[in-house]
Chain A
């Protein structure tokens, strides 16, 4: 379970989030939508403890991460997998080293055993074993994103997965592959997923509940039916280009 209670955050003098509250039960997928610069990615940074809120509380499985010590925060992070925007792969390491990074750093597993797990993970994210010795720069955007998902999964067997713009800049076929991978993870591993995106069409494929952020404030928190009926001018304006996509979505398509 992830809960934000009246969270405010600012970068210097610039407010990014204002009095934000929401709750995501365990095992659910939630999409956070909003225009660029609305504070979506900051929410993920706060959950991961990469930044601290100015006010409010953030609860992860009933632990308020705002008041914990760095060591406890590291333990909490072990339950969280993060797929950064553009992958954030370590560009001086091979694909294999990227995927096995956490185990190489933190576990006492033998190198061969780590290699075996890396091979398994490559298969899980639908990548060929041939790319194991390639550098991230040699891969396409979609492959990099899948390596990033594999790296996050192999790190800690996470109970929470955070995706920051997982499909931005990808072609439709690769987008579909990434979205089905996210769905597979949520279903098979029963992880709580938060997907941050401004790609509305993609949002409807991975969750049935949505939060819409505008200028750091939550202006919507509900399902597709409520979203269709929303009469807030900011939501109407934001969703205008995607009216057809919303109309076509069947409520029971979602997880």
Chain B
């Protein structure tokens, strides 16, 4: 196949998949309204996503926080501005690192699980069986997972932010020799509306990204166990890339609309 032809084919496939994803996502959102509500399934998913990802988020949060604090404190020391460490940590973690790191970690852990589970159910005709019993599989399987993600991703992000900033504080007092008061005063100074808003808006958007992509890939998995494996890999890769792209878009949009609040 010629490169131009290949590009045209690739773009056509991309456009077709995007259209199907959009329609599927719209159906997922529509399924959030109206009875029946699968309350037990939703709480079960919240537990699996939230509690299940907690250790991962704490571990990555503290490592990233300490690593960043080390890097920043070295650079700031050159300018005699070590006292600004808390300020920079708060901005970098709340606005960027906390949401993106948590989003990517949850995408890696949860999106793969959701796609594999739904894909396996499709492969073994369990989804057809559900339809045969008068149950909408999107409402039964996708909606509870989406709600759980919308609730738990922001919660996990807040936990990750706190842990990362605490990690930075440990570096500040033990290595950079900044007082706790100086560090925390600088951190609290940057906890303004703009930073908190962007810090919560991002994980909220990422939750939709992870939910839409992982469920779509599960519901459209084809080709038996091999196909489910491929769908799972694609789900994690596409969700992670989309999170990074969405991160830029949300940052740009929020900056455009509420610049004065930062």
Contact = CB atoms under 8 A, between A and B. Distances in A.
Interface residues on A, range: 20 to 34
Interface of A: 45, 48, 50, 74, 77-78, 80, 82, 84-86, 88-91, 101-102, 105-106, 155
A102 B133 contact: yes
A77 B132 contact: yes
B141 to A, nearest CB: 11
B129 A48 contact: no
A106 B130 CA distance: 12
A89 B130 CA distance: 10
Contacts of A82: 129, 132
Interface of B: 36, 121, 124-126, 128-129, 131-135
Contacts of B129: 82, 84, 88-90
Contacts, number: 44
Nearest to A49: B131
Contacts of A78: 134
A50 B126 contact: no
Given A89-B129, A90-B121, A106-B133, 18 more contacts: A48-B128, A48-B131, A50-B131, A50-B132, A74-B134, A77-B133, A77-B134, A82-B129, A82-B132, A84-B125, A84-B129, A88-B124, A88-B126, A91-B124, A91-B126, A101-B133, A106-B134, A155-B133
21 contacts: A45-B128, A48-B128, A48-B132, A50-B131, A74-B134, A77-B131, A77-B132, A77-B133, A77-B134, A82-B129, A82-B132, A86-B124, A88-B125, A88-B128, A90-B121, A91-B124, A91-B126, A101-B133, A102-B134, A105-B36, A155-B133
A105 B125 contact: no
A103 B39 CA distance: 17
Nearest to A105: B135
Given A48-B132, A77-B132, A106-B134, A85 B125 contact: yes
Contacts of B131: 48, 50, 77
Contacts of B132: 48, 50, 77, 80, 82
Nearest to B127: A88
Nearest to B133: A102
Tell me which of B124, B125, B129, B135 has the highest count of chain A C-beta atoms within 10 A of its own C-beta: B129
Contacts of B126: 88-91
Nearest to B38: A105
B133 A105 contact: yes
Contacts of A106: 133-134
Nearest to A41: B125
Contacts of B124: 86, 88, 91
A5 to B, nearest CB: 23
Tell me which of B124, B125, B133 has the highest count of chain A C-beta atoms within 10 A of its own C-beta: B133
A252 B124 CA distance: 38
Q: What are the 5 A-B residue pairs with the smallest beta carbon separation, nearest first?
A: A88-B125, A88-B129, A74-B134, A82-B132, A84-B125
A99 B166 CA distance: 51
Contacts of A105: 36, 133-135
Contacts of A50: 128, 131-132
A201 to B, nearest CB: 25
A247 B222 CA distance: 42
Contacts of A84: 125, 128-129
Contacts of B121: 90
A83 to B, nearest CB: 10
A105 B129 CA distance: 13
